[in-house]
Structures are given as C-alpha cells and as structure tokens.
Amino acid sequence: MLKTVTTARELRMATTDWQRRNETIGFVPTMGALHEGHLALVKKAQSLTTRTVVSIFVNPLQFIAGEDLSNYPRQLEGDAKKLESVNCDLLFAPTPEEMYPPTFKTQIDPGPLGNMLEGAIRPGHFTGMATVVAKLFLQVMPDYACFGEKDYQQLQIVQQIVNDLSIPVGIVPVPIMRDADGLALSSRNAYLSATERKQAALLPQTMFDVAQKLRDGGDAETALEEGKKRLTEGGFRVDYLTLVDGRTLEPITAPQKNARLLVAARLGKTRLLDNTNLLTETPTTAFPEVA
C-alpha cells in the first residue's frame, strides 16, 4: 500500500528513518493529474535510488493572475493508485496551508533565466516554481530529483538554483514521452477538445520538420518563420518557435552543439509547450554529467 503523508513532519519521519538505514532517496515533484510521463520519472528515480518520494502539490505561487488555479485538474485518489502500480514508496500531498502558512514570506528569484520565454509570458511563474522546488528539496532531502525535459526552461532553472544555492541534489533530466501522434504528454492536454486534440499533433510535426531543416543546413530564420506560418495556418497562436543555446536559452542563429528548438503555442484555451534537440541519434539529456 502506498503511504501518503500530508505534513512535512510526517515526511521527515519517513525519510530520516530511511537515511538512518543508508537508503537513498529519489524525488519526483509534480502537480498531480499524473500520466505516463510522470511514471517514467518515477521509474528513472527508482533506477537510481532505493526509495522514491513523489509530491503532488498544485502550487498557487506559480500561477499568475488570470490563470485558473481552481480549475487545475486534481485527482489525488487516481494519482495515488497510479503511483502504487509502479511501487512508489511515499506520496507527499501537502495542503497550501502546510506549504505556505500565514507567516510565509521568502521567495526565490531565479534571475534572467526566469524572465525570458515562458517567464516573459507568465511573469512571476518561475519565482513561484523555484520557491516551491527549493522548499520541497529541503523537505524531502533527496539524493536525486527527476524532471521531464518537456518543461525545458524549468529544468534549466532548477539546475541553476541547485548550483547557485549549493543544494546537494542531483538533477536528472528525463526525455519527453509522446503519444503515438507525437504530442508530448502533459496534464494540460486534458483541456483540449476532441477536435483540438487531433489538431494538436501539428505542433510536434512542425517542430520536428523545422529541426530536420536545420540539421540539413537550412537557413534558421527562414525555417523558423515557415514553421510559425504553418502553425498559425493550422489554428495555433504561436508564442514562440525559437532556436536557443540549450543552457543559457539565448537565441542562436545556427545549429550548434546543445542547440535546442523550443515552441509554445495556444490552441483554443490550451497552451502547449514542446522542444527537441537537433541530434538525429537518441535524445540528449540537458545535464549528461548527472544523468
């Protein structure tokens, strides 16, 4: 039976008991509505450590004004069953009051990396994300934490805060999991209507086609413009389709080692994100040294 705790105190009791017995802890932070992508993170954590903790917390701090926090899918019971099916050891599901009591004041500003791309469109989002991730790391004290490459900018920011604040957690990037038509798995896909879900496959198709053009030596500006046009004609409102340095996320004009193609576009009310490297071989991981 999967053990579920809701307070940091109960969590610490379980983890200190493991640490006393020299067990190692892998951690997967989530906001719930779990899918196969999350379970792949759990399996990766299990391959590295003897115990795995998953947190489910819909973090109000990372929702910006106008984003519907109350409608974010919450399905704790079903999520717990999925975690049990992959033999997760512990679920930490704190309440907002447990995480943010009335005295709570400190926030972590990840700097420039938090203000570009997603951060420019959702100001304050990455401060909220960085704050909760740092807090969860201190509560769980894991040896490794697994993050999906789907939220590529988030992954870079988490690596940066761990480096900057000397948090002793190995960050493990896990490749994107996709549906059969290529759409990256995301809890937000549940917002798509049946028609939109069919249309949505154009996003990864376009991204992979642009990546191929770049690999073939095509002009980056032209390939990106053509990609945006195709998405717009396919019913998307494109926020960005851009080629960046995979670490700094600064735009680049031609493919280079660790280049990353990032895309964000809206389909109806749903905002979809995706990204890919430019290698033809197996997907790169953002931080091969810790993978």
User: Which among 25, 26, 32, 38 is annotated as catalytic?
Assistant: 38
Determine the Cα angle at 30 with ends 1 and 81, to 5°. 25
Q: Shortest Cβ distance from residue 183 to ligand PAF (Å)?
A: 17
The closest alpha carbon to 266, from 121, 90, 53, belongs to 121
125 flagged as catalytic:
no
Q: Please classify residue 16 by burial: count the beta carbons closer than 10 Å to its beta carbon, then call 0-12 exposed, 13-18 middle and 19+ buried.
A: exposed
C-alpha 98/C-alpha 21 separation (Å) is 28
Residue with tokens 């993978």: 291
State the CB neighbour count (10 A cutoff) for residue 2.
Answer: 17
C-alpha 14/C-alpha 21 separation (Å) is 11
Is the separation of the CB atoms in 75 and 85 below 8 Å? no
Q: Shortest Cβ distance from residue 123 to ligand PAF (Å)?
A: 16
The closest alpha carbon to 98, from 137, 130, 133, 57, belongs to 57
The closest alpha carbon to 277, from 265, 263, 260, belongs to 260
Length of the chain: 291
For helices 36-48 and 76-85, the axis angle rounded to 10 degrees is: 40
Binding stretches for ligand PAF (CB under 6 A): 29-31, 59, 62, 129, 132-133, 151, 154
Which of the residues are catalytic?
Answer: 38
